[in-house]
A and B are shown apart, each in its own frame.
Chain A
Amino acid sequence: MSTTTPPKPIDDAVGYADDRFATAGFLRGKMKKVFPDHWSFMLGEIALYSFVILLLSGTFLSLWFKPSMSEVIYHGSYTKLNGVSVSEAYDSTLRISFDIRGGLLMRQIHHWAAVLFLASIMVHMLRIFFTGAYRKPREINWLIGITMFTLAILEGLFGYSLPDDLLSGTGLRITQGVLQSIPIVGTYLFYFAFGGAFPGHDFIPRLYTVHVLLVPGLLLALVAAHLMIMWFQGHTQFPGKGKSNNTVTGKAFYPVFLIKTNAFFLFTFAVIAGLATFAQINPIWLFGPYTPDSITAGSQPDFYMGFLEGALRIMPNWETNLWGHTIGWNVLIPALVPLGLIMTGAALWPFIEQWATGDRRIHHLADRPRNAPFRTSVGMATVTFYGLLWLAGGNDVLADKFHVQLFWTTWIFRVTVIVGPFIAYFITKRICIGLQRSDAAELDHGVESGIITMMPSGEFVEVHEPVKENAEAVLRSKPVPAALPDAGEDENGIPSPASRGPLARARKALNNAFTADDIPMGNGHADGHGEPQVTAPGANGDDSTQDAAVEGGDHKELSRG
């Protein structure tokens, strides 16, 4: 930060606030707060700004939307539906689309913002996971994030269900089926939620209250907590020169970060408004009003529910009849198992990792994904699992557009959803280990410079340049795995009491998984070929070669290719 005085308008404004609220002391520290700079650190901000846009556009829509299932005859600008009896919810959504100035744009902004909100939460979560940014001290914020993700999915589903169009109704029908499939209490849950037979007059108004009041309120509170914790704990940063657990390198909150983040809000708004202007979303006038006897090809939920839809589509038709009660595994399993596996797994992961590795240190430096092969591989296996279910949710579109037989897609997904994650796990692990080896080789042998030198003996070798300072700091950042306390054997080979029992064995196995594929970095084993190193650059006396070789440092290492 420079020491020059700020421009007069800012100075005046700060002075005004300080005179009244004595904010200068408070702000002085906050303004200097350093934020590490990396594009992937801004992914969460897309979610934040989409959420702001969702709140504002949603408020606009709520001025005209009528959450009512009362039947009315449509007489509006969209003549193709003239005289059709529809619900008031559908009628008012059509009115917003065609008769309210700017209404269609607002609807499309709201919906595209929802898509971007969920998508950015997902990429943000993946960034956090793969860089280990959920580790101590950030576990609680990770849990808050998962809670918000779950709430956002629900919020999206509710919003999708409100206009009472053909796809909304189809989605609600599935929601009803899922509620009913819950053993013992299912029927009661369904009647409590819907207040009678499907679809009924109660559910849409109830959904509306939850959609505009309860969930946004919860989300707002959690967003605030999420950001405050982030501010308090500081942002993680990627390893590099001058970066450590105790130092932060980056830009000050004021003015650089503030300007950047404001610009990023405008970018988010521009992208959402651009999509809303040029790409039609949720054309409920084409879907038509919902009637329980109608259905359309291409009945899909919005993308964030797609993996559940996919699970439902590929699930075999299993049912059990017990004492006159049917347990519909065909609905229960796809509704609960993938969601439960992914969300519960993600929520527990930081604690499993701590337990298995015994690593309870504070981490402010993000991991490079390759340096945590087990985590990265499990992550990719999960991504594959999710991705395949997601694709399965669009199996009819895939079958239609790519000319694959529909039943084949079902079977392909049934098999790959089980096998795929294992393949992804294996491939990712090999890639991680390969990258680690290449890192280690770079540290030990230097970087291939692309310059071929002829030795006096006539031998050709490639000049290796030592790794640059910053790159070396990155390479050397690879953390040493924390040792598992008292899990081993003593000098007599007697296992310690803490290492016995099934739980301890599981812990040991997990610990092994976390730490096994660890390639040592830069242990100075040189080229390992036991041959003397040649340190004379530019042996053929060519000037340009010499220049190139001397430029970066004072000695160059030549090694045999």
Chain B
Amino acid sequence: MKWFTAWRRRPWAGYAVVLAALAIIGVVYAGASPGADRAQASDTKVSAQDVAKGKALFDQTCSSCHGANAQGTRTAPSLIGVGAASVDFQVSTGRMPAMNPGAQIPRKKRILNDEQTRQLAAYIASLGGGPPVPAADQVDPAHGDSALGGKLFRANCAQCHNFAGSGGALTGGKYAPPLDKATPTQIYEAMITGPQAMPVFNDTTVTPEQKRAIIAYVTQTRSEVNPGGSGLGRIGPVAEGLAGWLVGIGLMVIAAMWLTARKPKKKHND
């Protein structure tokens, strides 16, 4: 280990270690990409019992903000007429019940399970109107045309959600979330209900067939391996520039230092 002891006492050894550490952190961070997908079955059968149970759940978890009769308060909007799809989206993504009101409610671990979500949706739907939870066939990516979906995605979705659905910033602290976790049903529901900052893409703007195409595009894109190596977060040239400087220039500077380093003297007595 003599060479090592000599090496680490070189004047540039400290810089080399810091640079290498930075490069490693950068690469590891860029390389770590989320990917899990979640399937979800939607059951559309609704009984009076479900509505009653949903009402009980609503009183318990939602009424403090949305009002006793879902009529809305100063802190939260009315839920009359939002429909089952909206409830299913908000609750199954864990956004509702919300923890604290901010510019935007983030996706988090869901609190109510599938059964409770269905009951809650039944209750809200019983208050009147609104889009229902889509059927499994409506959101099946296997039946969607991903090429058409890509075109529609680039024209309607990419300006906020980024070309690969990696998400992006919006004004006022809001953001378009990454689409890596959204299930096909949730993507459909988001389009039809327009949650938070998102506009509504109703069935005349984007037909159900086109919605399915978009779902196919999103799910295919996120499960697609990056043929060129690490995707660097799929956020475009910013990450590429960072990698070029940290890894590229970093390694080259280390190489230059190595090539021009003088051999350490045997005796340290000069």
What is A's interface to B at a CB cutoff of 8 Å? 37-43, 46, 79-84, 97-98, 104, 108, 111-112, 115-116, 119-120, 123, 166-167, 260, 263-264, 267-268, 271-272, 274-283, 286-288, 291, 293-303, 306, 394-397, 399-400, 403, 405-407, 468, 551
Q: Which residues of A contact B269 (CB under 8 A)?
A: 551
Q: How far is the CB of B98 from chain A (nearest CB, A)?
A: 17
B182 to chain A, nearest CB (A): 16
Whether B234 and A119, one on each chain, are in contact in the complex, defined by CB atoms closer than 8 angstroms, is no
A550 CB, min distance to chain B CBs, angstroms:
12
Q: Which of B69-77, B185-193, B239-247 contacts A (4 or more CB under 8 A)?
A: B239-247
Q: Collect the chain B residues with CB atoms within 8 Å of residue A295's CB.
A: 158-159
Across the interface, which residues of A come within 8 angstroms of B240, CB to CB?
111, 115, 279, 281-282, 302-303
Give chain A residues whose Cβ lies under 8 Å from the Cβ of B221: 80, 286
Closest 5 CB pairs of A and B: A297-B168, A303-B241, A280-B228, A115-B244, A399-B169
B257 to A: closest C-beta gap in Å: 4
Chain B interface secondary structure, helix, strand, loop or mixed?
A: helix
* Given A39-B253, A112-B248, A303-B240, CB of A406 within 8 Å of CB of B171: yes
- A123–B221 Cα gap in the complex (Å)? 37
- Pairs A–B under 8 Å by Cβ, sample size 26: A37-B260, A39-B12, A41-B260, A42-B259, A81-B150, A112-B244, A116-B248, A116-B249, A123-B253, A267-B252, A268-B252, A271-B252, A275-B247, A278-B229, A279-B30, A279-B230, A286-B163, A293-B155, A296-B154, A297-B162, A297-B169, A298-B235, A300-B236, A303-B238, A400-B168, A468-B270
Contact (Cβ within 8 A) A396 B252: no
A281 and B238 contacting across the interface, CB-CB below 8 Å:
no
Are A115's CB and B248's CB within 8 A?
yes
B226 touches A297 (CB 8 A): no
B residues 164-184 near A (Cβ < 8 Å) are 164, 166-173, 175-176
Whether the Cβ atoms of B228 and A108 lie closer than 8 Å is yes
Task: Assess the B249–A123 pair: CB atoms within 8 A.
Answer: yes
Please determine whether B230 and A280 come into contact, CB atoms closer than 8 angstroms: yes
Residue pair A394, B238 in contact (C-beta under 8 Å): yes
The reply to whether B237 and A280 form a contact with Cβ atoms under 8 Å apart is no
B161 at interface, CB cutoff 8 A: yes
| Cα A111 to Cα B151 with chains together (Å) | 26
Residues from 120 to 179 in B contacting A, C-beta threshold 8 Å: 146-147, 150-151, 154-155, 158-164, 166-173, 175-176
Q: Known: A268-B252, A298-B168, A397-B238. Contact between A281 and B150, CB under 8 A?
A: no
Q: Which residues of A contact B251 (CB under 8 A)?
A: 267, 271, 274
Shortest CB distance B198–A (Å): 13
